[in-house]
Structure 1
Amino acid sequence: MTFDDDWAALKADAQERHSTQMRLNTTGAGRIRPEPGTPARAGRIRALGIRIPATASDRRAGYKVGERYDTGLLSFVLPADDAETYTGRLIEDGTEMIKNFHPEEKDYRPAAAFGHLGLPEPETFVQGLRTISLCPDDLATSEGKYLQRCVDLFAHEFTPGTTRIYVRSTIEPSVTPPPAPASKAP
């Protein structure tokens, strides 16, 4: 699985959903622009280093250009067993995702909201949500070694057997992206 394959699939999904969320694509700074698959924006999200599993469906991504920091958003759905395997490949042994012990109110709107992608905010979920923050520093897991930016990762089992993965990352645009890994093979 390569990033180009992932983004080709994301583009196909976005074209199928070419509806309200695609019309949110604006040029104003500070707005979320859902990823219609254009190479420049795909490159911004790709810079996070998050690989999307082939079994993922309902792939959505956005990028918010801010005055000081940019934010990348990524979300996709996996069968619960695949989601458990996927998060296990990102997280080091002995580290666990935690439950949402302090959920936000239903009207919670962070600076870079998943609501712009037509999704509820994961911080508002009471049941079925697990979360963790990950940074690439010394993260030597099988998927974590590809991570290029710090991310907040949420896994929400919204129906039995089905989990949505949410990824949010704050990006300092003036910082040159790190070099690509020597080997892109999994």
Structure 2
Amino acid sequence: MIAAVLVVAGVATGVVVGAGSLVKGGGRAGVEEVRWAEGITPVWMGEQMGLDVPAGARSARAAYKVTSRFDTGLLTFTLSEAEAEAYFEKYPPSGRWLTPTAAQPDTPPSDFARFGLPEPETLKDGMRYGYVCPGAAAEPTASPDPFGMGSYDVSDEKCVRAYVYEYAPDRARLYFRTHFEPGVDSLPTPLSTPSPAR
């Protein structure tokens, strides 16, 4: 049983830009609420992360969340075990895969709950995680935080946080989560209304 859950918490160089207007004629100064951009496709989000969405991917979903502190890009899809292994040959982890010492069940649903999925921090059995750095020679990473989510790195490296979760025989779910500096102007459509709290 191998399934992959990749969650990304890094930054892709080509998409991190300085603070600027998100909506035509508008700025970020008064943004206090969580807002979800409309029209975010898995292919678009994958391009921002430097990753592709394979032809065999199922249940592909993507979202882009805007807050006053940082933006978050989300991408998730499932693959067969063989497809997942081939995917990681194309995008190998930087350093080694790590396994969480414990699940964090009180992690509030915030990102992947948008798709009806658990946050990866709430999972332990069958979970591994690390960084995937498409197109960059990254240094191996290790973090005392078992999920590496204590701080949000918005550096110039093209690394994304990757979680691999074995959820079913011969199926893998890949979750990607990437944090961006505020101000990505190239969103495909205007922002939607704030999402209700879950």
Equivalent position amino acid for 2:119 in 1: E
Instruction: Tell me the equivalent position of 1:72.
Output: 73
Taking only the aligned residue pairs, the percentage that are identical comes to 34
Shift of 1:29: 4.3
| TM-aligned CA deviation for residue 138 of structure 1 | 3.0
AA matched with 1:65: V
* Equivalent residue pairs, number: 137
Please list every run of 5 or more consecutive structure 1 residues that lacks an aligned counterpart in the other structure.
1-27, 141-147, 178-186
Q: How does 1:102-117 map to 2 (within 5 A)?
A: 102-105=102-105, 107-109=106-108, 112-117=110-115
CA distance in 1, matches of 2:98, 2:38: 28
**Counterpart for residue 12 of structure 1:** none
What is the CA distance between 1:42 and its match in structure 2? 6.3
In 1, are the aligned partners of 2:133 and 2:159 still within 8 Å (CA)?
yes
Give 1:119's aligned residue: 117
Q: Distance in 1 between matches of 2:79 and 2:115?
A: 17
Distance verdict in 2 for CA 1:84–1:119, change over 3 Å: same
The whole-number CA distance in structure 2 between the counterparts of 1:163 and 1:34 is 27
Residue 136 (structure 2) aligns with: 138
Q: Determine helix, strand or coil for the equivalent of 2:121.
A: helix
Alpha-carbon shift at residue 100 of structure 1 (Å): 1.9
With over 3 angstroms needed to count, the CA separation of the structure-2 counterparts of 1:33 and 1:101, relative to structure 1, is: farther
- Summarize the Cα distance change of 1:32–1:157 in structure 2 as closer, same or farther, 3 Å threshold: farther
Query: What is residue 159 of structure 2 aligned with on the other side?
Result: 150
The one-letter amino acid of 2:101's match is F
- Aligned 1:161-176 pairs, distance under 5 A: 161-174=170-183
Deviation of 1:96 (Å)? 2.4
Q: Tell me, what secondary structure is at the counterpart of 1:96?
A: strand
- Counterpart residue identity of residue 72, structure 1: G
How far did 1:134 drift? 3.4
Equivalent residue number for residue 87 of structure 1? 88
- 2:91–2:134 CA contact under 8 A, matched in 1: no
Amino acid at match of 1:131: Y
Cα pair 1:77 1:164 within 8 Å, conserved: yes
Could you say which structure has the higher helix fraction?
Answer: 1
Q: Measure the CA separation in 2 of the matches of 1:45 and 1:32.
A: 17
Q: Cα offset for 1:158? A: 0.4
- The range that moved more, 166-175 or 68-77, is 166-175
Q: Secondary structure at the match of 1:155?
A: strand
Cα RMSD (Å): 3.0
Task: Give the 3 Å change call, closer, same or farther, for CA 154–29 of structure 1 in structure 2.
Answer: same
TM-score, length of structure 1 as denominator length: 0.62
Pairwise CA distance, 1:91: 1.5
AA at the equivalent of 1:100:
P
Residue 47 of structure 1: SS of its match in structure 2? helix
Counterpart residue identity of residue 30, structure 1: V
SS of match in other structure, 2:86:
helix
* Higher RCO (CA-CA < 8 Å; seq separation 6+): 2
In the alignment, is the contact (CA less than 8 A) between 1:62 and 1:117 conserved in 2? no
